[in-house]
Amino acid sequence: MPDKTPLRRRLIEVADCVLVLIDMQDSFFDKYEKAKSEEVITKSVWLLRVAGNNGVPVVAMAEDIPNMGNLNDRITHALPKGSTVFNKDFFGCGDQVEILKAIKATGRGTAILIGVETDVCVAHSALSLMQHDFDVAVVRDVTATTVGDQD
């Protein structure tokens, strides 16, 4: 029986997690200070390796790939072999049928979100996934936005 204690008051179970990677494209990274972009990319690659070593599935997506480009090359190379990068048409990934289907297909109940822009696509994705009964956690160190100061 799943633990229904609010996520903020319990530990996250690795076996219940899916890593959801949102819009980590150079078209976004080019808007940030170079040091911030490098930090997010480096930590993303590290977290993708940790996920892979722990059997955590990854669902990756990028916004409007034809116009904004694919994921950053370093991040793409760190994805598990055979990963699909979904073309995301909505702010919230839970609002796009094929992406939601891929996340649900993992059989995991806790979505760990990383990506950009924190205030739009990451936030909307968190809200939309919660509407589909996922527990959601956002890794603050692996997010970025151009709006205000995240700290």
Task: Please give the pLDDT value at position 118.
Answer: 86
Residue 43 in tokens? 């930590």
Task: Please give the pLDDT value at position 4.
Answer: 63
CA atoms within 13 A on the CB side of 99: 27
Q: Residues 29-74: pLDDT tens digits?
A: 999 999 999 999 999 999 999 999 999 999 999 999 999 999 999 9
The answer to whether 22 and 121 are in contact (CB under 8 A) is yes
Whole-number mean pLDDT of the chain?
92
The predicted model gives 62-87 an average pLDDT of 96
Query: Can you list the alpha helix ranges (DSSP code H) found in 6-72?
Result: 26-29, 34-53, 65-68
- CA dihedral (29, 31, 33, 36) in degrees, to 10, reads -30
Share of the chain above pLDDT 70, in %: 91
At 104, give phi and psi (nearest 5°): -65, -35
Residue 49 in tokens? 């390796």
Task: Please state, in angstroms and rounded to a whole number, the distance separating the CA atoms of residues 79 and 82.
Answer: 8
Task: Please state, in angstroms and rounded to a whole number, the distance separating the CA atoms of residues 72 and 96.
Answer: 22
| Pairwise pLDDT comparison (10 vs 5), residue with the higher score | 10
